[in-house]
Amino acid sequence: MQAFCFINSFSTPIPTLMNIAVIGSGTMGNGIAHVFAQHGFSVSLIDISQPALDRALGTITKNLDRQVAKGSLSDDDKTATLGRLRTFTSLEEGVAGAGLVVEAATENVELKLQIFRDLDRYAPQDAILASNTSSISITRIAAVTKRPAQVIGMHFMNPVPVMKLVEVIRGYATSDTVTAQVMDLSRQLNKIPTEVNDYPGFVANRILMPMINEAIITLFEGVAGVEEIDTVMKLGMAHPMGPLQLADFIGLDVCLAILRVLHEGLGNPKYAPCPLLVNMVMAGRLGVKSGEGFYQYTAGSKELVVAERFRK
């Protein structure tokens, strides 16, 4: 995402927690918008690109169709869910009247800080400002606003419509009231919120990313191949997906960014990203999103094929 273009000045409606604004229409943003709209909230989905917003609505529609086909959602519920969604390319318009804003932009520190500076200017004074960041300090984000008590982390898991966990991260100044409200909102989405404190990587990625990094180091050092490493973890540790396949699914660029946050924030060399991961990201081999990572991905195919570079 780029910087937003702000237009017009108009009166701001009174915010309500039934009005949600989601910033970013990518994988996480459209999933967050989906679950809020499905559970009765009015949702404003915001992005700088109208084509991106159109793609997001297409993705939400397909995911709702999948739920209808499985019998977990009625056609009427699907229609009602889509009716609660509106799209905006103006941040100022999109957040007007929002009681909760959830930022789900790219995992880039400077971008997020700028978005929160702008949110502090345009969102209603009583609005809660949440970030879906998977590793960046909530305290650091809150510090660029004049309302740090109202800033919190709301880290959903991917895919958002399916995964139950919401990691709720308290910044240094986050109030008890805001934390309780976000915990309650998460339960209204039929999620299970878990409250954690604001340290690099929080809980989920502080534990997950070193495991993924160690799997990449194991491959890098020639201990075993891609399939063997993933098979050991799936069959030996009962993981539904091997760590290398999971890294591809998350995005190798995202994994690298989180490891760098851990390494910088904790100052421990054990969090240093594997050179193989660094090289793959520099080469544009980012996993599913680029069509190749540790595995190769073909549109429409569910077959798991090891990338040619890693075949024996």
For the record, the structure tokens of 159 come out as 């895919």
Q: Which of 92, 167, 227, 292 is catalytic?
A: 167
Structural domains for the chain: 16-197 (3.40.50.720), 205-310 (1.10.1040.10)
Q: Which of 134, 135, 186, 213 is catalytic?
A: 134
pLDDT tens digits, one per residue of 176-220: 999 999 999 999 999 999 999 999 999 999 999 999 999 999 999
Is 167 a catalytic site residue? yes
In this prediction, residue 312 has a pLDDT band, given cuts at 50, 70 and 90, of: confident
pLDDT tens digits, one per residue of 96-127: 999 999 999 998 999 999 999 999 999 999 99
Radius of gyration of the chain (CA): 20
Q: What is the pTM of this model?
A: 0.89
pLDDT at position 12: 44
What CA–CA distances, in Å, run from 291 to 1, 38, 54, 276?
21, 31, 22, 18
Is 11 a catalytic site residue? no
Tokens 């073909």 correspond to what residue? 298
DSSP string spanning 160-215? Answer: TTT--EEEEEE-TT--HHHHHHHHHHHHHTT-EEEEEE-STTTTHHHHHHHHHHHH
Is 107 a catalytic site residue? no
pLDDT tens digits, one per residue of 56-101: 999 999 999 999 999 999 999 999 999 999 999 999 999 999 999 9
CA–CA gap between residue 275 and residue 216 (Å, rounded): 9
pLDDT at position 15: 62
